Amino acid sequence: MSELKVQFGEGRGIVAPLEIRGPAEAMAIEHLYGMLFALRVQVVSAEEHVEEDGIVQRLLVCEFDGGPLRFQRRRAITAKMTAALSRPGPGIVPAHAPATARDRRAA
């Protein structure tokens, strides 16, 4: 079984290459898209390759607003995705704390 690895590749401009390698059970594309959506990251294109020891997902991503992902943001995304994919079951640490019922009434 392959070891989980989440990393951004070299890229300049608006879209950044993101590669995720890991075991097949942790790599459902819908799960990855959901995590990226929660982190407010837009998937521009995606490729999936099955290897002997797992799956490789190669994505081109950018911010929701179409802007580039800066260095600090890339590090945060990598850390949150690695943590979420490393624990059993679906889940992601939200990018922002959800609004409480009190916050919604005040709005």
Mind listing the pLDDT tens digit for each residue in 41-74?
Answer: 999 999 999 888 889 999 999 999 988 999 999 9
Asked if 6 and 26 count as a contact pair (C-beta separation under 8 A), the reply is: no
Alpha-carbon span 69 to 18, nearest angstrom: 11
Highest CATH level, class, for 5-89 = alpha beta
> Residues 1-26: pLDDT tens digits?
468 899 999 877 899 999 999 887 66
CA distance 102 to 83: 30
**Which stretches within the chain are classed as H helix?**
29-38, 71-86, 101-106
Q: Beta partners for 61?
A: 16, 43
Residues written for the chain: 107
